[in-house]
Amino acid sequence: MNVNPTLDSGLRVALVTGSTSGIGAAIARRLSHAGYAVILHSRSSEAAGRAMAAGMKQAVYIQADLALEADRVRLVSEAIASWGQLDVLVNNAGISRVIPHGDLASATSAVWRELHEVNVLAPFHLVALAESALREAARSRRAGSVVNISSHAGVRPKGASIPYAASKAALNHVTRLLALSLGPDIRVNAVAPGLVDTPLTAEWHGAQALWREQSPMRRAASPDDIADAVAMLVASDYLTGEVLLSDGGLNLT
């Protein structure tokens, strides 16, 4: 862990979970370009995380398995210790399981528990652990900001599996409940992407065709499109409790 005592007092600090790949990496880069000191995080890709941090102006990397309570506690405490403050928490890390919705037997209790642990319990607990630091941000700078990355599957009856969609619907509701409880010190919003071009979804040919042919924007989102939506919510001084559907308009069809 790096400690940077030379940080100028105007700087803001953001923790982006799951930020060594895909959408999280784009969000971390965007916030870094916007002047944030960034805490990068992932479950396993430590070398990639450290290399990414080295290439950014002010960044550190912390490994943690968000399925483990002890790791969640350590992540937030090390993140706050990095610069002695935390202004923004982006709960991006998430997992998915592809199970046809009609195949109820394959959606086992173990699958439900695994997805809820990482997609719902972890974001909620990270907010709880970061609450005092985010409130402190409001006292000395501006309101703390939480952005949860959920999914259009949490808004519409769609998605990789029923347990995945339900976990993201829960995250959307947690977003609104926390916004109500934590304002005005802490704003809490979510971005709900549709299909995003990442290595994982490159093989999802049916979904790619659906977005290309049916959505008003005629394409899936890039990770940078989602990072733009996150940056907009972080930059706001007013928006809270919003679930920003970012699906290129597919929901209109």
Q: Give the residues lining the site for ligand NAD (CB under 6 A).
A: 18, 20-24, 42-43, 65-67, 92-96, 118, 149, 151, 193, 195-196, 198, 200-201
Q: How far is the CB of 7 from ligand NAD (least distance, A)?
A: 25
By C-beta, is 29 or 43 nearer to ligand NAD?
A: 43
Q: What is the dihedral of CA 37, 226, 189, 192, to 10 degrees?
A: -150
Q: How far apart are the first and last CA of the chain?
A: 48
Q: How far is the CB of 204 from ligand NAD (least distance, A)?
A: 8
Does residue 36 carry a catalytic annotation?
no
Q: How far is the CB of 149 from ligand NAD (least distance, A)?
A: 4
State the burial class of residue 115 (Cβ atoms within 10 Å of its Cβ: 0-12, 13-18, 19+): buried
By C-beta, is 86 or 226 nearer to ligand NAD?
A: 226
Q: How far is the CB of 66 from ligand NAD (least distance, A)?
A: 3
By C-beta, is 65 or 136 nearer to ligand NAD?
A: 65
- Among candidate residues 36, 61, 164, 238, the one labeled active-site is 164
By C-beta, is 95 or 217 nearer to ligand NAD?
A: 95
In DSSP terms, which residues pair with 13 in a beta bridge?
37
Catalytic residues: 164
